[in-house]
Amino acid sequence: MKILVCISNVPDTTAKISFTDNDTKFNKTGVQFIIGPYDDYALARAVELKEQHGGTVTVLNVGESESDPQLRKALAIGADDAIRVNTEPTDSYFVAAQIAHIASQNSYDLILMGRESIDFNSGVVHGLVGEMLGIASYSPVMKLDITGNEAKFAREIDGGKEHLSAALPLVLGCQEPIAEWKIPNMRGIMTARTKSLAVVEPVSVDDSTVLEKYALPAPKGSCRMIPAEEAEQLIALLKTEAKVL
């Protein structure tokens, strides 16, 4: 089985977010980058499936060289080889087109990724890739097993779960508890450098969106505590000051 896992390179969840160049560029100074947490679940499940069924796991990132440590980490966790499409990932359509191009050159049985990245959170790349390749895509997938040419999986739906089966190939957007995040072991880290990390140039895609600027949410206002026994005062304040009632 050939599995492709697409990972995003995103700021650590605790990073302080700020912008430069008139709020048009994300300020990367001092920011620690990580594998997108949902992508990390997809990677963990891919490595488990490879251990069960054999085959290969290729890890793919659309991004610049700052993604390399994350690709190396994926190799240390158990991916066999890595591909980086050397370009700034500008929007979901652009990224999906790059992924679809790589996927169309290799016949993967499964294309896994996170349900969404945790920087821009669009959550549409899996669907776009599926459409571009003309194969089915599902998200968010929380459980995944493979028998022969068939995938059995569970998807979260409003208020419950949907159990599905479908023939490979498939594109799946994953989330917990599909697998547990893996910590690479030291041998894995040491052998990661001997595995291939191919850097390829992007295919040209017309801009579908142009970024105008970023904005941070308004800072939190100060907080006033009203004791429970003064509920009337609270109601009055909600009416007169907060004007929410």
Partner 1 sequence: MTDFYSIDDLLSEENRLIRQTVAEFTAKEIKPIIESFAQKAEFPQHLIRRFGDLGLLGITMPVEYGGTQADYISYGLVCQEIERGDSGMRSTLSVQHSLVMWPILHFGTSEQKNKFLPGLASGDLLGCFGLTEPDHGSNPAGMTTHFIEKEDYYVLNGAKTWISNAPLADLAVVWARNPNGRIQGLIVERGMEGFTTPEIKGKWSLRASATGELIFADVRIPKENLLPEGLGLSAPLKCLDQARYGIAWGAIGAAIDCYETAVQYASERIQFGKPIAGFQLTQKKLAEMLTEITKAQLVAWRLGVLMNEKRATTAQISLAKRNNVAMALQVARESRQILGGMGITGEFPIMRHLMNLESVVTYEGTHDIHLLILGAEITGIQAFK
Task: For the CB of residue 212, give the shortest distance to partner 1 in the complex, in Å.
Answer: 34
- Nearest to partner 1 of 135, 189 (CB atom): 189
Those residues with Cβ within 8 angstroms of residue 135's Cβ, 6 or more apart along the chain or in another chain: 169, 170, 171
- Nearest to partner 1 of 50, 73 (CB atom): 73
Task: For the CB of residue 40, give the shortest distance to partner 1 in the complex, in Å.
Answer: 11
Distances (CA, A) of 94 to 61, 83, 97, 178, 221: 13, 17, 5, 27, 38
* Structure token pair of residue 42: 């997809």
Task: For the CB of residue 4, give the shortest distance to partner 1 in the complex, in Å.
Answer: 22
| Contacting positions for partner 1 (CB under 8 A) | 68-69, 72-73, 76, 183-187, 189-190, 192-193
Task: Please give the angle made by the CA atoms of 72, 76 and 79, to the nearest 5 degrees.
Answer: 85
Task: For the CB of residue 224, give the shortest distance to partner 1 in the complex, in Å.
Answer: 16
How far apart are alpha carbons 71 and 241 in whole angstroms?
Answer: 52
- Nearest to partner 1 of 12, 162 (CB atom): 12
Distances (CA, A) of 193 to 65, 77, 118, 196: 15, 12, 27, 8
- Nearest to partner 1 of 155, 182 (CB atom): 182
